[in-house]
């Protein structure tokens, strides 16, 4: 049956992954330095090609695991790039995903075989091909999604302070947020569990630690609940 397509053009299909991380202060992007041509020695997003026996999600999971060594990473497919000349070697269509990783939890697991390095978004180098366009679009998607879904918690440790949460949203949205309004808004959502533990590194009195309550959020989601900041 495949012979019916023998006269059709064949193109390569790539998967490129924009991996975001948060270090409690800054939103970062994980990049690799290419060790092959074209653009050898330049910085690139993490990517690879779709195999015959894979779905796109399978390919993205494989590529992320190969680099990070971890499974169950939050990821989302968000755009396809099909400019004819986007890859100088061969006609290649790329489907892009963005992923969220807590740097503190996974930094030691990141593979060292790909010259991978975290960059602050404000200090990221120029990337190959159309990867800068992919990164910019991924940032806009993350900003929109973080306003209506609690995906930002994927970037935090399991236990976090309210200040850490505020800094995360400031980093994602790239703007200052009023502390009192932010706390009132988060408390009104009733999706956090306040713990008896404190983080004593921030002050002598310490700051209470919180956990995200997935069950509460799922219950509210069933009633068309959304987070808006």
Cα(77)–Cα(56) distance, integer angstroms: 9
Phi-psi region of 72 (alpha: psi -120 to 50; beta: other; left: phi over 0): left
| pLDDT score, position 217 | 87
Decide: helix, strand or coil at residue 145: helix
CB 162 within 8 A of CB 207: yes
Domains of the chain: residue spans and CATH: 2-148 (3.90.79.10), 156-221 (1.10.10.10)
| pLDDT score, position 68 | 78
Q: Each residue of 8-56: pLDDT tens digit?
A: 899 999 999 999 999 988 999 999 999 889 999 999 999 999 999 999 9
| pLDDT score, position 141 | 96
| pLDDT score, position 114 | 64
Q: pLDDT below 50 — which residues of the chain?
A: none
| pLDDT score, position 137 | 98
Torsion of CA 145, 148, 150, 154, to 10 degrees: 10
What is the DSSP track for 17-59?
A: EEEEEE-SS-EEEEEEE--SSSSTTSEE-EEEE--TT--HHHH
């Amino acid at each position: 049956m495949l012979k019916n397509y023998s006269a059709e053009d064949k193109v390569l299909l790539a998967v490129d992954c924009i991996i975001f991380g948060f270090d409690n202060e800054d939103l970062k992007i994980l990049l690799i330095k290419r060790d092959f041509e074209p653009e050898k020695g330049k910085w690139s997003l993490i990517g690879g090609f779709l195999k015959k026996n894979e779905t796109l999600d399978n390919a993205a999971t494989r590529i992320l695991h190969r680099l990070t060594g971890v499974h169950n990473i939050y990821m989302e497919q968000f755009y396809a790039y099909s400019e004819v000349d986007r890859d100088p070697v061969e006609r290649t269509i790329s489907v892009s995903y963005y992923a969220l990783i807590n740097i503190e939890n996974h930094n030691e697991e990141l593979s060292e075989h790909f010259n991978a390095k975290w960059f602050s978004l404000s200090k990221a180098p120029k990337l190959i091909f159309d990867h800068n366009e992919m990164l910019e679009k991924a940032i806009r998607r993350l900003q929109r999604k973080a306003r209506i879904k609690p995906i930002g918690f994927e970037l935090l440790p399991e236990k976090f302070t309210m200040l850490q949460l505020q800094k995360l949203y400031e980093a994602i949205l790239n703007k200052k947020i009023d502390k009192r309004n932010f706390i009132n808004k988060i408390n009104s959502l009733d999706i956090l569990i306040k713990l008896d533990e404190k983080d004593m590194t921030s002050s002598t009195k310490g700051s209470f630690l919180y956990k995200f309550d997935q069950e509460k959020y799922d219950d509210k989601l069933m009633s068309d609940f959304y987070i808006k900041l």
